[in-house]
């Protein structure tokens, strides 16, 4: 492998409900940030889309920062297939030789990326939270990929020096997407591909969407989260949340206790959120929780323990019983609004 032949940053654009998944849009944003920070590499950002998707979806990738959108099409691709996707992307890698390939760490991406890395005999850093080019050498395209390790207590930075592409999966909600801009220039390359020779060991026959319960907390502007200190008193949290138009989140302690559902868990093994305001109630502020909410614009913490680590992350800390303070806070917010 002559790694000098490899160029550009490719982003795997996952399709969800006919549109590009938000997590892929975030990666297009991050890829643009990387290339604009190192103009001497003269890299471009390419989006790779699989399936017979609409022109709107392909344009969506362009409007969010793909300079070129490659779309691999075949009538037979109706659902995600590990084998088909791996084969098509490894063909793309053989032909186009991307230096870097970013894949969202969604359920699909976590299935696809390791298989693809093994097929291409290259390295993969999974679940990254930070990307930067080699800070020591401004002509280098070596990617420094940082990810949490040992339960979030340590961060490791990993490089893939000898093989290409440099592959990484990135947690949804961590990187910033670009604002959609219809004036952005991009090209679309649709390719009809052959899939008849690909042996599928596992075949998805049908996708049954899970009934949608409320708003996805990853997209909420205002979140009130409760932890072990709230126990099974989430009714109070919900009442306050309804009053002020917030979504309710939770720490892993209450999810593990079966009090709240996993899809509202905030943190390293839950969702990454970045609301305008995050109110943490009865949450101690373990690193694994903070990893999922520290990018919120404004953080309010309510805790009985003056030594709780959450106070180090919070913009405002309120010392006391959250179950008494929350209703007062809601009244105050309502008063200010009127």
Q: Check the annotation: does 272 bind a ligand.
A: no
Q: Is 304 a binder of ligand FAD (CB under 6 A)?
A: yes
Cis peptide before 165 (omega within 30 of 0): yes
Question: With binding defined as CB under 6 A, does residue 296 bind ligand FAD?
Answer: no
Confirm whether residue 287 is marked as ligand binding: yes
In the complex, least distance from residue 225 CB atom to ligand FAD, rounded to whole angstroms: 8
Chain centre distance of CA 323: 32
Q: Does 323 bind ligand FAD (CB under 6 A)?
A: yes
268 binds ligand FAD (CB under 6 A): yes
166 is in an annotated binding site: no
Give the nearer residue to ligand FAD in terms of CB position, either 245 or 320: 320
- Dist CA 59 CA 69 (whole Å): 8
Closer residue to ligand FAD in complex, CB, 191/304: 304
The distance of closest approach from Cβ of residue 336 to ligand FAD in the complex, given in angstroms and rounded to an integer, is 23
Minimum CB–partner distance for residue 310 and ligand FAD (Å): 7
Site for ligand FAD contains 228 (CB under 6 A): yes
Site membership for ligand FAD, residue 313 (CB under 6 A) = no
> What percent of the residues of the chain are helix, what percent strand, and what percent coil, each to the nearest 5?
30, 25, 40
Cβ atoms within 10 Å of 164's Cβ, excluding its own: 23
Among 21, 68, 164, 252, binds ligand FAD (CB under 6 A): 252
Nearest residue to 70 (alpha-carbon basis) of 39, 41, 91: 91
**Nearer to ligand FAD among residue 228 and residue 295 (C-beta):** 228
Minimum distance, C-beta of residue 267 to ligand FAD, in the bound complex (Å): 2
Give helix 55-63 / helix 22-37 axis angle, nearest 10°: 40
Start-to-end CA distance of the chain, whole Å, equals: 66
CB of 256 to ligand FAD, least distance (A): 8
Can you tell me which of 66, 277, 322, 329 binds ligand FAD, judged by CB under 6 A?
322
Told to check if 165 binds ligand FAD by CB under 6 A, we report no
* Contact flags string 124-153 toward ligand FAD, x per CB under 6 A: ---------------------------x--
The answer to the question of residue 289 lying near ligand FAD (CB under 6 A) is yes
Task: Give 28-81 as a DSSP string.
Answer: HHHHHHHHHH-GGG---EEEEEESS--HHHHHHHHHTT-SEEEEEE-TT--S--
By CB under 6 A, residue 321 contacts ligand FAD? yes
The least distance separating ligand FAD from the CB of residue 238, rounded to whole angstroms, comes to 16
Kindly state whether residue 24 participates in binding ligand FAD, applying the rule CB under 6 A: no
CA atoms within 13 A on the CB side of 113: 28
CB 204 within 8 A of CB 161: no
**Could you give the CA distance from residue 115 to residue 105 in angstroms, rounded to a whole number?**
14
- d(C-alpha 176, C-alpha 52), whole Å: 27
Q: Which spans of this chain sit near ligand FAD (rule: CB under 6 A)?
A: 151, 227-229, 251-253, 265-270, 282-284, 286, 288-289, 292, 302-305, 308, 321-323
Which residues contribute to the annotated binding site for FAD?
Answer: 228, 251-252, 265-269, 282-289, 303
């Amino acid at each position: 492998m002559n790694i000098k032949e490899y160029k550009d940053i490719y982003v795997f654009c996952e399709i969800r409900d006919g549109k590009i998944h938000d997590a892929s849009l975030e990666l297009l944003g991050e890829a643009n940030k990387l290339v604009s920070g190192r103009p001497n590499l003269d890299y471009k950002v390419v989006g790779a889309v699989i399936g017979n998707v609409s022109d709107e979806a392909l344009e969506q990738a362009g409007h969010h920062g793909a300079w070129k959108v490659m779309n691999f099409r075949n009538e037979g691709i109706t659902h995600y297939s590990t084998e088909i996707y791996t084969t098509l992307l490894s063909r793309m890698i053989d032909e186009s030789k991307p230096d870097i390939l970013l894949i969202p760490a969604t359920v699909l991406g976590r299935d696809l990326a390791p298989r693809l890395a093994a097929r291409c005999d290259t390295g993969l850093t999974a679940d990254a939270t930070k990307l930067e080019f080699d800070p020591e050498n401004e002509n280098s395209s070596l990617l420094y990929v940082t990810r949490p390790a040992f339960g979030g207590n340590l961060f490791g930075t990993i490089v893939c020096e000898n093989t290409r592409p440099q592959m990484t999966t990135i947690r949804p909600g961590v990187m910033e997407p670009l604002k959609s801009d219809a004036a952005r220039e991009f090209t679309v390359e649709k390719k009809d591909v052959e899939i008849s020779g690909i042996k599928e060991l596992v075949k998805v026959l049908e996708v049954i969407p899970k009934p949608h319960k409320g708003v996805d907390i990853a997209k909420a502007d205002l979140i009130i989260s409760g932890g072990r200190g709230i126990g099974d008193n989430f009714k109070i949290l919900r009442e306050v949340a309804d009053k002020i138009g917030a979504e309710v989140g939770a720490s892993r302690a209450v999810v593990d206790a079966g009090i709240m559902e996993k899809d509202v868990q905030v943190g390293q093994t839950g969702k990454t959120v970045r609301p305008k305001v995050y109110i943490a109630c009865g949450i101690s502020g373990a690193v694994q929780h903070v990893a999922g909410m520290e990018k919120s614009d404004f953080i309010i913490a309510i805790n009985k323990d003056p030594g709780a680590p959450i106070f180090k992350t919070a913009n405002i800390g309120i010392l006391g019983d959250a179950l008494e303070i929350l209703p007062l806070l809601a009244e105050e917010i309502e008063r200010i609004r009127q």
